[in-house]
Amino acid sequence: MIIYGVAFLALCTLTGLFIGELLGKWMGIPANVGGVGIAMLLLIGLGSYLGNRGLFTGKSEQGVSFWAAIYIPIVVAMAAQQNVYGAISGGPMAILAGTLAVVLGFALVPVLVRIGNREPNATVPTKEAG
């Protein structure tokens, strides 16, 4: 049933965000610490576990893949509600600060890709990404 997939996705999302909230509280910072990332790892881990046992297939998968497919329209809706006007009215300093941060970020991508390649393909556990 498709709803099983949607419910599974919902449970992973809620659990991840809940753990993120708890981590934030525990570290004393007013932010969700990686909730979405933890939820993704849960979905990957539990999904493949259930899939291997034949408990998560076909119709149930569609419940997840629909939301993955609707992702881009959601991002477009997200773009349409950014405070673009406010950002540009922030003046030249805000624009310059944001721009420089982005330029540095782009420039560092190839640098870090190279650093990573020199490292041996380590056996870092998945949770390291968090």
Residues 31-50, interacting with another protein (CB under 8 A): 31-41, 43-44, 47-48
Distance between CA atoms of residues 79 and 74, nearest Å: 9
The encoded tokens of residue 33 equal: 């610490």
- CA distances to 22, 31, 121 from 25, in Å: 5, 8, 34
Q: Using CB under 8 A as the criterion, what x/- string covers residues 5-34 for binding another protein? A: ----xx-xx--xx--x--xx--x-xxxxxx
Nearer to another protein, 29 or 55 (CB): 29
Closest listed residue to residue 5, CA positions, set 72, 95, 66: 66
Residues in 80-119 that interact with another protein by CB under 8 A: 80-91, 93-110, 112-113, 115-116, 119
Radius of gyration of the chain (CA): 19
- Decide: is 55 part of the binding site for another protein (CB under 8 A): no
Nearer to another protein, 1 or 97 (CB): 97
- Decide: is 72 part of the binding site for another protein (CB under 8 A): yes
Pair 42, 16: CB distance under 8 Å: yes
Distance between CA atoms of residues 104 and 106, nearest Å: 6
- Decide: is 52 part of the binding site for another protein (CB under 8 A): no
- Decide: is 128 part of the binding site for another protein (CB under 8 A): yes
